């Protein structure tokens, strides 16, 4: 804390000595600042008359934003939710307690004032104060008066100061609230019902986007934060008999951040039974006519283009319509409908020397979308409906009756930003299943934005759906446009940023062991009952198969890493990994005996019964083994199970890499293989997820396993 803050902090003692609470419970006002100014229009007395007998008919409260000391006469400005008003603090008019309080006030403090309004010789309505109350001490000073917050990141981090110092910033967020209110009123006037749909979903759906994933502890399952405002849920509500629904929703997409994209954003979506996309376009034009009239007062608004230059956008309807496929063809020379696969389209894109980042990883639909964003979308400034997208880019949209290769869709583009996405909904359950399967195959091939199968939704569709048209609009984007901003974060009150400060008030954790602090204990006799050297001898005698010897070493090194992380005995855990399959060559043709023969083998070497039991636990619950009804209970057991299982995934991943090594391997790529159930199909993903019993996330565990096995890469041929 700096010296100035310390001085302010010390004033709290003075304030308390005067009989005030530095942070009182509440305060009752009679007027806001704007109400007081309006009240003054009825007539005010002069200050000399008021000084003799104050009516005390106005009580204000707020933050003191300025203070001018003229000796006996002092002026300040009080700021509240509705604006600012000047107050006059005159000695001899205020009570003695208030005069003493005035001497210890700082700009930024919250105060309450009681008095009567008058007009200064300069014509400014002012409150002549007779009594003052203290309502909250500002220990840190506000930014400098004339410049406020200049650093853009500081504005995002300390939006509260940005709003205090800039009336325009505060009005921007008031306008956002006003826009949402007017949108709701418009929906209500058209017979729509506002509903709420889940934020946490079993299956991520409703758009082509990468979701955030988290673990639901109570249900012990992975769930996703929604990427859209309940599209499938709202359509299921229509099946339930609600013909017009809408939702204002926070949505989440784990994708890149730029001026027109945020990972957390607000959307409005609506769905109407018996409409098609043409009805929705008419509805959209009607909505914007209403919104612009109510909020802006004109159809024209000046915005900033992608280069930061001002450009006038006119929302006057009707808006032009442009065919999506024809527009791309005109701008790139590529007819996307002539290509049925991503490989074919990618070849055409490369022939035209159009560069699209990570194009090789994209499915057909995602690739078409990125081509459009590259060559066509930057040209769309005035409000424009882009219609009839290829069917493979819109897995939830209805095919066009005349041309089934495209869907009855539209997007509203304004200033190159996609503001609205809408279409006639696909209500044919057979067609929907086919398209979801196509999306699922693209996802399995590595397209993270592709949609997943959703059997619950398909089952709902099979109960019958009427014609439907749905619509989604990004609130942050439309507010950004209407408030002449160029970055979505300027209309989000508290955007997410990386923290600047470490947490305080929490005792530092004890340092975890790592390789440097987890010394090798190979020569020590430990509670396992044997030395590490003896364990190696046992392995050499009973396991000859090179693959199994590699598996033993891989399991050992992963277990050693886990032991260091968990602050457990490294040798005991390492030996468990090395010897857990010691009877494999005796039982490979009779798996029901696996880990039964181990006990007899290890008993001859005086391995402790405790360790033998742990090693047997890695087959608990396996249907082929002799322990199908047993469950792992201890940290040690869970560690061995997930450690020896993950080695199969890592080894297979190393073999499929072009250089057949783990050098330069990334956990992000390994995790994709984890999600692809067709890759290393015999590796039980559920067992690997037992890493969570150790307090480790999947990412952390995969990184640990990758690092451990990479260290013995030369030994195992990777």
> Residues 248, 330: one domain?
no
Q: Determine the Cα–Cα distance for residues 301 and 316; give it in Å rounded to an integer.
A: 11
Long-range CB pairs of 492-497, under 8 A, 24+ apart, other chains included = 492/262, 492/265, 493/159, 493/173, 494/159, 495/156, 495/262, 496/262, 496/263, 496/264, 497/153, 497/156, 497/157
pLDDT above 60: residue 469: yes
Q: Determine the Cα–Cα distance for residues 449 and 715; give it in Å rounded to an integer.
A: 38
How high is the pLDDT of residue 453? 82
pLDDT above 70: residue 78: yes
**Span 128-151, average pLDDT:** 84
Poorest-confidence range of 103-107, 434-438, 587-591? 587-591
Task: Give the rounded distance of the alpha carbon of 655 from its chain centre.
Answer: 35
> Residues 325, 294: one domain?
no
E strand map for 149-212: 193-194, 200-201
**Span 372-384, average pLDDT:** 94
> Residues 526, 474: one domain?
no
> Residues 519, 639: one domain?
yes
pLDDT above 80: residue 557: yes
Query: Rg for the chain (alpha carbons), in Å?
Result: 34
pLDDT top residue among 30 and 528: 30
**Span 183-205, average pLDDT:** 94
Question: Is the Cβ–Cβ distance between 388 and 407 less than 8 Å?
Answer: yes
Task: Give the CATH number, domain containing residue 286.
Answer: 3.30.930.10
pLDDT above 60: residue 508: no
Q: Which helix H or strand E contains 322, and what residues bound it?
A: strand 321-323
- Which percentage of the chain shows pLDDT scores above 90? 61
Q: Determine the Cα–Cα distance for residues 270 and 288; give it in Å rounded to an integer.
A: 15
The residue behind tokens 């707020």 is 62
Task: Return the C-alpha torsion angle 523, 525, 527, 533, nearest 10.
Answer: 50
Is 428 a domain residue? no
- Which percentage of the chain shows pLDDT scores above 70? 94
> Residues 309, 332: one domain?
no
pLDDT above 70: residue 117: yes
Is 472 a domain residue? yes
> Residues 213, 136: one domain?
no
pLDDT above 90: residue 451: no
Tens of pLDDT, residues 648-692: 999 999 988 888 888 888 888 899 899 888 888 889 999 999 998
Q: Determine the Cα–Cα distance for residues 114 and 270; give it in Å rounded to an integer.
A: 50
How high is the pLDDT of residue 497? 85
Q: What is the tally of helices (H) and strands (E) in the chain? A: 26, 18
How high is the pLDDT of residue 146? 47
Neighbouring residues of 60: CB distance < 8 A, sequence distance ≥ 6: 29, 30, 31, 32, 33, 36, 78, 80, 85, 87, 112, 113, 127
> Residues 268, 129: one domain?
no
How high is the pLDDT of residue 519? 42
**Structure tokens belonging to residue 434:** 């086919």
> Residues 17, 129: one domain?
yes
Q: Please tell me the pTM assigned to this model.
A: 0.66
Is 419 a domain residue? no
Is 541 a domain residue? yes
User: How many Cα atoms occupy the beta-carbon half-sphere of 655 within 13 Å?
Assistant: 9
Is 433 a domain residue? no
Query: Taking all residues of the chain, what is their mean pLDDT, rounded to a whole number?
Result: 89
Confidence of residue 345 (pLDDT cuts 50, 70, 90): very high
pLDDT above 80: residue 206: no
Instruction: List the domain range (segments joined by +) for residue 301.
Output: 171-319+450-491
pLDDT above 70: residue 510: no
Q: Which helix H or strand E contains 111, and what residues bound it?
A: strand 110-119
**Span 65-70, average pLDDT:** 92
Q: Determine the Cα–Cα distance for residues 701 and 464; give it in Å rounded to an integer.
A: 45
> Residues 108, 80: one domain?
yes
Task: Give the CATH number, domain containing residue 29.
Answer: 2.40.50.140
How high is the pLDDT of residue 524? 37
Q: Please tell me the total count of domains within the chain.
A: 4
> Residues 312, 328: one domain?
no
Task: Give the CATH number, domain containing residue 656.
Answer: 1.10.3210
> Residues 223, 341: one domain?
no
> Residues 579, 663: one domain?
yes
pLDDT above 50: residue 526: no
Is 188 a domain residue? yes
Domain boundary among 363, 381, 399: 381
Is 406 a domain residue? no
Question: Is the Cβ–Cβ distance between 31 and 62 less than 8 Å?
Answer: no
Question: DSSP string of 336-398?
Answer: GGG--SHHHHHHHHHHTT---TTGGG--HHHHHHHHHHHHTGGG--S-EEEE--BGGG-TTBP
Tens of pLDDT, residues 583-604: 888 888 777 778 878 888 888 8
pLDDT top residue among 121 and 529: 121
Poorest-confidence range of 169-183, 263-277, 372-386, 478-492? 478-492
**Structure tokens belonging to residue 488:** 């979505």
Is 368 a domain residue? yes
């Amino acid at each position: 804390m700096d010296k100035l803050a310390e001085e302010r902090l010390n004033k709290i003692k003075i304030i308390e000595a005067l009989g005030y609470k530095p942070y009182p419970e509440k305060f009752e006002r009679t007027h806001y600042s704007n109400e007081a100014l309006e009240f003054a229009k009825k007539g005010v007395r002069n200050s000399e008359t008021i000084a003799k007998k104050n009516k005390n008919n106005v009580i204000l409260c707020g933050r003191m934003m300025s203070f001018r000391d003229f000796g006996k006469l002092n002026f300040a400005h009080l700021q509240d939710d509705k604006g600012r008003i000047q107050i006059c603090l005159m000695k001899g008019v205020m009570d003695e307690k208030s005069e003493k309080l005035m001497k210890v006030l700082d700009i930024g403090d919250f105060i309450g004032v009681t008095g009567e309004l008058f007009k200064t010789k300069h014509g400014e309505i002012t409150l002549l104060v007779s009594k003052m109350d203290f309502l909250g001490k500002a220990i840190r000073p506000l930014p400098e008066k004339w410049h406020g917050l200049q650093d853009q990141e500081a504005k995002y981090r300390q939006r509260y100061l940005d709003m205090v110092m800039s009336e325009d910033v505060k009005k921007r967020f008031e306008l956002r609230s006003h826009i949402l209110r007017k949108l709701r009123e418009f929906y209500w006037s058209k017979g729509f019902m506002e509903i709420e749909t889940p934020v946490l979903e079993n299956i991520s759906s409703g758009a082509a986007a990468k979701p955030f994933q988290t673990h639901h502890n109570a249900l012990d399952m992975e769930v996703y934060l929604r990427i859209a405002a309940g599209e499938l849920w709202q359509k299921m509500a229509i099946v339930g008999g609600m013909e017009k629904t809408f939702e204002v929703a926070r949505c989440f997409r784990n994708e890149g951040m730029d001026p027109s994209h945020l990972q957390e954003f607000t959307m409005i979506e609506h769905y109407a039974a018996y409409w098609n996309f043409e009805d929705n376009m008419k509805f959209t034009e009607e909505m914007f006519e209403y919104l612009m009239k109510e909020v802006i007062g004109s159809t024209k608004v000046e915005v900033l283009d992608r280069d930061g230059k001002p450009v006038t956008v006119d929302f006057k309807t009707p808006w032009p319509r442009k065919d999506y496929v024809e527009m791309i063809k005109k701008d790139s020379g590529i007819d996307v409908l002539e290509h049925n696969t991503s490989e074919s389209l990618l070849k055409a894109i490369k022939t035209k020397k159009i560069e699209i980042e990570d194009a090789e990883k994209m499915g057909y639909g995602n690739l078409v979308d990125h081509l459009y964003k590259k060559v066509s979308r930057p040209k769309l400034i005035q409000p424009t409906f882009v219609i009839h997208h290829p069917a493979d880019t819109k897995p939830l949209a209805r095919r066009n009756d005349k041309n089934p290769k495209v869907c009855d869709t539209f997007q509203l583009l304004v200033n190159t930003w996609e503001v609205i996405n809408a279409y006639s909904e696909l209500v044919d359950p057979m067609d929907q299943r086919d398209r979801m399967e196509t999306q699922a195959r693209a996802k399995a091939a590595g397209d993270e934005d592709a949609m997943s199968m959703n059997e619950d939704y398909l089952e709902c569709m099979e109960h019958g759906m009427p014609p439907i048209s749905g619509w989604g609009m990004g609130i942050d984007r439309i507010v950004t446009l209407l408030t002449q901003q160029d970055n979505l974060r300027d209309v989000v009150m508290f955007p997410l940023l990386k923290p600047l400060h470490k947490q305080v008030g929490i005792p530092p954790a004890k340092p975890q062991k790592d390789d440097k602090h987890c010394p090798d204990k190979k020569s020590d006799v430990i509670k396992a009952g044997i030395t590490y050297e003896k364990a190696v001898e046992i392995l050499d005698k009973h396991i000859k198969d090179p693959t199994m010897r590699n598996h033993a070493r891989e399991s050992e090194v992963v277990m050693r890493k886990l032991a260091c992380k968990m602050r457990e005995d490294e040798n005991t855990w390492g030996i468990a990994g090395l010897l857990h399959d010691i009877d494999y060559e005796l039982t490979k043709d009779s798996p029901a005996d696996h880990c039964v023969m181990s006990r007899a083998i290890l008993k001859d070497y005086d391995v402790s019964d405790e360790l033998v039991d742990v090693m047997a636990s890695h087959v608990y619950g396996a249907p082929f083994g002799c322990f199908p009804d047993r469950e792992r209970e201890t940290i040690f057991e869970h560690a061995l199970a997930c450690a020896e299982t993950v080695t199969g995934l890592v080894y297979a991943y190393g073999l499929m890499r072009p250089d057949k090594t783990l050098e330069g391997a990334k956990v992000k790529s390994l995790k994709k293989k984890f999600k692809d159930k067709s890759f290393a199909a015999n590796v039980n993903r559920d067992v690997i997820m037992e890493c969570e019993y150790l307090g480790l996330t999947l990412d952390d565990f995969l990184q640990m396993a990758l690092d451990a096995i990479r260290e013995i890469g030369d030994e195992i041929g990777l």
